[in-house]
Amino acid sequence: MDDLQWFKPRKYLHFDRPLGEKSALNYVSSPEKVASHSFYPFISYTSEVIKYRLDNDRGVFTKNSKPRPISYSAHLDSHIYAYYCSLLSKKYEEELVRKGLHTSILAFRSIDSKSNINFAHDAFNEIKNRGECCVLAFDVEKFFDRLDHSMLKKAWEKLLCVDRLPSDHFAVFKAITRSAKVNKIDLYKKLGISIHNPRVRGARLCTPKQFRDDVRKGGLLSVNPELFGIPQGSPISAFISNLYMLEFDLKLLSKLSLTESVFFRYCDDLLIICDLEHEDDIHEFVKKEIATLKLNLQHKKTEIRHFNFDKNGQLKSDKAVHYLGFSFDGQREHIRSSSMTRYYKKLGKRIRVSKKAMDRCNELRAGRGELPKELFLRTIYRGYSYLGRRNFISYGFRAAKIMQSKSIKKQLKPHWKKLNKLISDSI
């Protein structure tokens, strides 16, 4: 492989040191080395994701905390995963084009620099162009945790057109399915390293001997005991999700082509647009085929929306359909209201944390006889207002431009006034 697009320098601490491009390429491009490679365990931790959902009965947003397990692999292991992801992705892309799936599968692919904004806009435009139609939105429950290893292996072999995985591919497959992991907090405690201010020698968490004595023999390792599930966070995990769904995608495309229906799939988020009379048949088909993958649909998140023309000839839906962080009611595209609520909650928390930090700083300054400092606003403005380049608000204005949506601009317009009011109220 001539290009090094798969190579990504990583600076985090792990059981081995970071590698340069040349060293990484020399190793990962050798099937013999990969076949005999000893993978380090993943380091894992749990991230709490706050989600807000509208309670229609009470007309308020409810707050839910959702734990999200995150795992990250050692440096050389990551390069192996990334390299093999690149090898497999090339074959996968060829398969998508050959089977006519390249416009339906959206996640974890390089599609002309398109983003979720473009994908959602394309889906909503399809609804507009169809007029009267039914939209079915599905979400798969605990997707990565439920991927069946034997089915994944068969899909991997089929993509490579082999009856049995080559030894190097099997080593990668085994490492990602029978994955070992160690809890980050327990690990750092065992090694005597501060979780917030880690200081280590040699740009690694420990020596190989310490790993054997303190980590492996110390009982910190756990290996996936199940015949299903892969860790989230490795460079190949996202690709595996697409590979696992390939046969389903092919069956769904064949089914929908009979009724001139279309679908868009972004990882475990599936959106189908069909004529109203085909709703029940397609719904049952999806439930049946998802079950054959040994997966379950989150029925609470399933959305079925009917779009019809009103007496004024305007396209309307019984309820707005949600997709990739946006909503569409037949006339207007919006940012999901729950996303706006989450933004303001995060903004308020950020201001409160900054205020507390500044108060502590000023207490110390007062003790030294120095004048107090004002709240440092540049970071807040950069992270939470239109003045920043890569934040929620700038993303929203980019969506408004791409979608040519006045309603999104209207949603975002009050943010500056509200931001400054929150700042003034905290002083």
In the chain (427 residues long), the average pLDDT of successive 10-residue segments reads 78 94 96 97 85 59 72 96 95 90 72 82 94 95 95 97 98 96 96 92 93 94 95 91 94 93 91 96 97 94 94 92 94 94 92 88 87 83 93 96 96 95 86
HSE value, Cβ hemisphere, 13 Å, CA-based, for 287: 10
In the structure encoding, which two tokens stand for residue 120, read together? Answer: 């959602």
Asked if 82 and 10 touch (Cβ cutoff 8 Å), the reply is no
Give residue 427's pLDDT. 73
Length of the chain: 427
Asked if 151 and 177 touch (Cβ cutoff 8 Å), the reply is no
Q: Give the 3-state secondary structure of residue 33.
A: helix
In the structure encoding, which two tokens stand for residue 60, read together? Answer: 């308020």
Q: Give the 3-state secondary structure of residue 326.
A: strand
Its pTM stands at 0.85
Give residue 264's pLDDT. 93
In the structure encoding, which two tokens stand for residue 205, read together? Answer: 């968490």
Q: Which residues have a Cβ under 8 Å from the Cβ of 125 and sit 6 or more positions away? A: none
| CA-based nearest residue to 110, from 6, 206, 214 | 6
In the structure encoding, which two tokens stand for residue 335, read together? Answer: 């940012």
Q: Which residues have a Cβ under 8 Å from the Cβ of 110 and sit 6 or more positions away? A: none
Asked if 275 and 261 touch (Cβ cutoff 8 Å), the reply is yes
Question: What separation, in Å, do the N-terminal and C-terminal C-alpha atoms of the chain show?
Answer: 57
Paired sense of beta strands 42-55 and 180-183, if any? parallel
Torsional class of 158: left (φ above 0), alpha (ψ -120 to 50), beta (otherwise): alpha
Q: Give the 3-state secondary structure of residue 51.
A: strand
Whole-number Å distance between alpha carbons of 92 and 105: 11
| CA-based nearest residue to 233, from 88, 86, 13, 42 | 42
Give residue 35's pLDDT. 98
Give residue 57's pLDDT. 56
Give residue 245's pLDDT. 95
Whole-number Å distance between alpha carbons of 243 and 91: 11
| CA-based nearest residue to 348, from 123, 76, 50 | 50
Whole-number Å distance between alpha carbons of 320 and 306: 9
HSE value, Cβ hemisphere, 13 Å, CA-based, for 23: 8
* Neighbour tally for 363: CB within 10 Å: 10
* Neighbour tally for 23: CB within 10 Å: 12
